[in-house]
Chains A and B, each alone.
Chain A
Amino acid sequence: MLLVYCPYCEEAREEEEFTYGGEAHIKRPLSPHTLTDEEWGDYLYFRKNPRGLHHEMWFHNAGCRRYFCATRDTVTYKILETYKIGGPPKSPSIPAGADG
């Protein structure tokens, strides 16, 4: 079970207070109808699923009820940082050294 630091509550809380929100920094196209079906499909369905660092959203469901972002290593599950919506991540999306 993960220990997640909520950047709004400024506290580390148990994972059971949170809901996973999927990949972060996906921008909704401003003019969906100018996109081809394929382009719209990419926005709808295609996600990164990296082995290594991943920027993702979490929802503090049983807390402040706010969405925020986290940079997590998908191999070690280590959370390198959490940051508010709109903020850029400090860590780039490069694969991290995996433990084991």
Chain B
Amino acid sequence: MIPTHRAQINRITADARIDTSRAINFFFNGKRYQGYLGDTLASALLANGVNVVGRSFKYSRPRGIVSHGAEEPNAIVQINTGKLTIPNLKATQVELYEGLKANSVNGWPNVEFDLMSIFGWFRRMMPPGFYYKTFMSPAKFWMVYERFIRKAAGLGRSPMQFDPDSYDKLNQHTDILVVGAGPSGMLAAREAARTGARVIIVDEQNEFGGSLLASTQTIDGIKASSWVKNLMAELTKNKNVLMLPRSTAFGFYDHNFVAVIERRTDHLGDSASGLCRERIHRVRAKQVILATGALERPLVFAHNDIPGVMLASSVSNYLIRYGVAPGNRLLLFTTNDNAYQTAIDWYQSGREVVAIVDSRRNLSGAMYEAARKLGIEVKSGHAVIEAEGGKRVCSARVASLSRQGNKIDGLVEKLDCDLIACSGGWSPTIHLSSHTGSKPVWNESISGFVSGSSREDLLLVGACNGEYSLTGCLANGAEIGCRAAESIGYQISAIETPRFQVDELEELPQQTIFLVPHDKGISRAPSSFVDMQLDVTADSIEIAVREGFESIEHIKRYTALGFGTDQGKLSNVNGIGILAQMLGKSISEIGTTVFRPAYTPTTFGAIAGRDVGALFDPERLTAIHRWHEENGAKFEDVGQWKRPWFYPRASESMEEAVHRECIAVRNGVGILDASTLGKIDIKGPDAAEFLSRVYTNSFLTLARGKCRYGVMLKEDGMIFDDGVCACLGPNHYLMFTTTGGAAQVLAWLELWRQTEWPELRVYCTSVTDHWGTVTLSGPDSRRVLEAVCAGIDLDNDSFPFMEWRDAIIAGVDARIFRISFTGELSFEINMPAHHARHIWEALMDSGEPYDITPYGTETMHVLRAEKGFMIVGQDTDGSMTPYDMGLGWVVNKSKEFSFLGKRSLDRSHMLRKDRKQFIGLKTIEGSKMLPEGGQLIFDPEEQIPMSMQGHVTSSYYSPSFGHPIALGVIKGGFSRMGQIVYCPQPNGEIISAEIVNSVFYDGDGARQNV
């Protein structure tokens, strides 16, 4: 057993929100520590006096905990190991549980002694864009450099195994969604719920209460924490309210759609196995109330990144909420009254306040007086210009400041301290409102960006709306809660809105300082860090400006400001302010960068939810699927369908199986499951007219019992789908589509039927899944069918090619179509899907004397290619007309109605002689295969770039001929028969091929017509 490393030296167990009777053991960077139930990893580390929690990204400087929430830039940890590991969590957001193992994501060999920190000594040699500038040439070496740079720069490591946890998604519809359960949000929720409105209130923390959890104030005479408890009790009792703690609203999308991730088990550790780890609530709300609060802004001064420099509000939080004093001797550096509370809290905890350093002159007001009354020294008109120390602050250099706060105008003195709490004011947390596209607006009076949204269904309340006093937040929350409910039709009671009695001191205006001056100039002074996570310093912004960058969007990308996992929550506004100062512009002129979802990192597991593995995409199986499985078929995905690809026997390779299947169809008989073909049932008095409008050929003359091959065009004249259509009876047709095109064809038919020709009386119904389709193909197919078919004569005179008949096969009603996709005598049999396997097996039995051979899609493709039958989407690409494909015979231009696409066929471009045309290709060196997609050229000696003349669309080895064949499109192909084209390969080889007719096999179609 590893001994507990250190006692909790910084724990002061005053009235905090932790349970000191429940000790929890945890590990950080391999050492064992103890904390209490209610701690975060950050508060427990501070309690144990751990100063260095990570190394910085670029210079490997030692870094400590700065904040207490989602804004934390430094304390980035990797939790657990193996398949349960989670990278890049913020220690400030990780709840402690027994046995928790956490490690810093940076630092080698460890964070206390990091060899990479040598980079820090050469900081001036690593300006922004350092890697790009330094490792620029030779260009191809970047790949080599990159491997080392990535290793030095990376954050956490992603898990290498499958995620064993389960995740859910829930759809929530609510009247009002309140984001943030601080004082404003909770009151808004309460007032709205009291009207009867349905309310969801979410908060990213484990407890509701927000700032009140670390407040010493009283509301209506009771302690803030008790006041929260009472409010919680009321909300819990109201069945219209859904309360979601540990839930982050991370994305705000159109029409008040908000994505909320609820973390259900991460705080439980191992005890939660088997539970759903996280779930995403997809919330659609009539009103959204943002009560997301504000983030305190750090002050940017020299060496402000040394461990022991923290946000003032965070110091108070650790003190009051967690019972942890993160140091002994506090120096407070502030530009505002609000942070005085931290010095007062610190003083009351019994530890030493060295001084309050306030940038403002001529101080007065209640907060100032309160601090003075306690005997705390206040240095007005002063600034901390530099922190000193290595792995912990040991002193601060303090100097008198000019009135504008941009120059030092007095002597520098040194104050010993081990904790510098700083506050540069507050920034409203307006990220979610920005997701909706509204631009933030700079508000000078609060020195922060506020939401620019003016939507009626989105309300902002409290600190995220720039209201910082507790009295104001409570009143604002109550009012907005009522207003939101009223706006969607709920009655608010006539009783006046509640008033609150809060012990609150009035605060005077703050001063705005983005960059604290130093006694040396900016480029010679020690680094002042703006973005601690990515090591962006004030002087790197200056360098960017000097190199000509002006737009904040460009500065962001050049310096990496705000690009870390914290998304610049602490750094963006300071960066914008510093840039404005350097360019001599106003903040409004600079503007902000765009906030995008997610507010905090969200796991892929939660986003995927249950849609993984077999549930990722539905699989469609034919009614004969099990037979194929039982008989060893290999499957191919065609859209969502699983289709038999080929049926290998024993140790056959794919090539061998396909060869055998092809020969069987050509010489004997094969059987194919074609159930996936799209089938659309078309009915109505105007059905024939409708078909004549959507196909290029006429269907008005098609009699019952007959089939016709048809091609459909888009209005631009390009082939969209093809297939056979049969007349089943008066005003009744069955349209076959390609497997992949079925859904689009139906939507296309509906588009024209519903929007352009509503006067046509015709209805289209998808019957793809209702009918199984089994194709018998080959010279023996008639004999196989005869043995099981009753009621009709199958000879060529009684039942010729391109006709269909009702029949009874193996005792079951079926339709037989004499159509062929292989070029052989074929019977395509349709039967109700539940009879498909029965008929398939009956045919297998009757075919046994003929060695009937099941064949798959690969053989089907080879056979159709030998016949030169195109596959839409493989041999065509949306730029081919029927003429280009040699299908002029299927276009009937004498039809009265101008069918879809007809006019386009006469556009000038369509009449060009050098359009790409569909041809066959035979390689000169007989055994060579042309690769599909290979580009074709006329002149192999031509300079690069060569002129592309066409490409190969289909290429197979043909068992019927014993050599490869290919199909392709080539400019002016029809008039180039017999010419040689060339297909250059990546390895320098050039394959030459002869242009031939696309129909290789049985050119006059005799074999299918017997």
Which residue numbers of A lie inside 8 Å of B, CB to CB?
A: 1-3, 14, 19, 21, 28, 31-33, 35, 37, 40-41, 44, 57, 59, 61, 65-67, 76-79, 85-86, 99-100
Contacts and interface: CB of A to CB of B under 8 A. Distances in A.
A67 B758 CA distance: 12
B782 interface: no
Given A1-B254, A77-B254, A100-B437, A44 B716 contact: yes
B240 interface: no
Contacts of A100: 436-439, 452-454
B716 A59 contact: no
Interface in B629-669: none
B29 interface: no
A85 B455 contact: no
Among A65, A79, A86, residue most surrounded by chain B Cβ atoms (within 10 Å) = A65
Nearest to B454: A99
Interface in B685-718: 715-716
B903 A35 contact: yes
B253 interface: yes
B750 A65 contact: yes
Contacts of A33: 898, 903, 906
Query: Across chains A and B, which 6 residue pairs bring their CB atoms closest together, nearest first?
Result: A100-B438, A32-B903, A3-B255, A32-B898, A77-B254, A67-B754
A70 to B, nearest CB: 13
Contacts of A21: 751
Interface of B: 253-255, 257, 284, 436-439, 452-455, 715-716, 747, 750-751, 754-756, 758, 898, 902-904, 906-908
B453 A99 contact: yes
A86 to B, nearest CB: 7
Contacts of B758: 85-86
Contact of A37 (B257, B437, B902, B908): B908
Contact of A59 (B254, B257, B750): B750
B903 A3 contact: no
B904 A40 contact: yes
A65 B455 CA distance: 32
What's the dominant secondary structure at chain B's contact region? loop
Contacts of A66: 750, 754
Contact of A61 (B439, B715, B716, B747): B747
Contacts of B903: 32-33, 35, 40
A31 B254 contact: no
A21 B755 CA distance: 11
A67 B907 CA distance: 30
A16 to B, nearest CB: 10
Contact of A67 (B284, B437, B750): B750
B756 A1 contact: no
A67 B257 contact: no
A44 B754 contact: no
B744 to A, nearest CB: 10
A59 B751 contact: yes
A44 B746 CA distance: 21
Contact of B755 (A14, A67, A77): A67
A21 B715 CA distance: 15
A34 B118 CA distance: 79
Contacts of A57: 755
A85 B754 contact: yes
B307 to A, nearest CB: 40
Contacts of A76: 437, 455
Given A40-B903, A100-B452, A31 B755 contact: no
Nearest to B253: A1
Given A31-B898, A76-B437, 12 more contacts: A1-B255, A2-B254, A28-B756, A37-B908, A40-B903, A59-B750, A66-B750, A77-B254, A86-B758, A100-B437, A100-B453, A100-B454
A55 to B, nearest CB: 13
A1 B754 contact: no
A35 B907 CA distance: 11
Nearest to A43: B715
15 contacts: A1-B257, A2-B254, A2-B255, A28-B756, A32-B898, A32-B902, A32-B903, A40-B903, A59-B750, A67-B750, A67-B755, A77-B255, A78-B255, A100-B436, A100-B438
B592 to A, nearest CB: 12
B747 A59 contact: yes
A40 B902 CA distance: 11
B751 to A, nearest CB: 6
A100 B452 CA distance: 7
Contact of B904 (A2, A31, A44, A85): A44
A78 B255 CA distance: 7
A3 B457 CA distance: 14
Nearest to A97: B454
Contacts of A59: 747, 750-751
Contacts of B898: 31-33
B366 to A, nearest CB: 38
A1 B454 CA distance: 20
Nearest to B747: A59
A55 B606 CA distance: 36
A3 B256 CA distance: 9
Nearest to B441: A100
A23 to B, nearest CB: 12
A37 to B, nearest CB: 5
Contacts of B455: 76, 99
A57 B452 CA distance: 31
Contacts of B747: 19, 59, 61
Contact of A3 (B284, B754, B908): B284
B763 to A, nearest CB: 11
